[in-house]
A and B are shown apart, each in its own frame.
Chain A
Amino acid sequence: MSNHVAIGFITVGVIFDLLGCLGLVRLPDVYNRLQAATKSVTLGTCMVLFGVFLEFGFTAGGAKALLCILFVLLTSPTAAHALARGSHVSGFKLWEGSVMDKLEEDKGE
């Protein structure tokens, strides 16, 4: 590892990953955990992959890292949305400190 910009990107990405997993452990509710973990872990992994791309340069490996960024950015929010909707539909309650539930209001109409 000689590229300092790549080391910076990978460091920030790994710290984002760690903080997202800390949110997965510490938050009280499945929706809060999904919110904290999915966003920051997606961003952190994309920054790690971009650092890997900077390390490899414009070669075959760098192209694969860019393709992997594209896949992670497409698939991870979709999976999180499907999980949140599925758990709401199957009736898992929100945390008692939550202030609003727009999906429940929309279903009531």
Chain B
Amino acid sequence: MMTVFFVFLLIGTFMCQYRIMVGPTPPDRMVAIDIMGILVVGFCALYSVRTGREFYLYIAITWAILSFVGTLALAKFLEGRSFDE
């Protein structure tokens, strides 16, 4: 049962990687990186259920925050402004 969930999330991650490789404009690639970060959060949570160890949830929380910061930095870079505005 858990294996089916992991396979579905892996298929979604491969779709994001297709968009990262193919995507015609830079914002497409940034969106795909953002979505892949959120998918990794769900993957870590499911892995903590499978192994019964709770520290994978720490990885999920940290990954959510770091993905948010990275996406904001990419968006500011895309907008063409400096970070202190």
Interface residues of A (CB under 8 A from B): 1, 7, 10-11, 13-15, 17-18, 20-22, 24-25, 30, 33-34, 37-38, 41-42, 44-45, 48-49, 52, 55-56, 60-61, 64-65, 67-68, 71-72, 75-76, 78-80, 82-83, 85-87, 89-90, 92
Contact = CB atoms under 8 A, between A and B. Distances in A.
Contacts of B45: 48-49, 52, 65, 68
Contacts of A13: 42
Contacts of A42: 38
Contact of A85 (B9, B35, B61, B75): B75
B27 A41 contact: no
Given A61-B57, A72-B38, A34 B31 contact: yes
The prevalent SS among residues of B at the interface is: helix
The prevalent SS among residues of A at the interface is: helix
Question: Quick one: which of A10, A33, A61, A79 has the most chain B CB within 10 A?
Answer: A79
**Contact residues on B (Cβ < 8 Å of other chain), bracket:** 35 or more
A30 B28 contact: yes
Interface of B: 1-2, 5, 8-9, 11-13, 15-16, 18-19, 25, 27-28, 30-32, 34-35, 38-39, 41-42, 45-46, 48-49, 54, 57-58, 60-61, 64-65, 67-68, 71-72, 74-80
B71 A79 contact: yes
Contacts of B68: 71, 75-76, 78-79
A60 B52 CA distance: 12
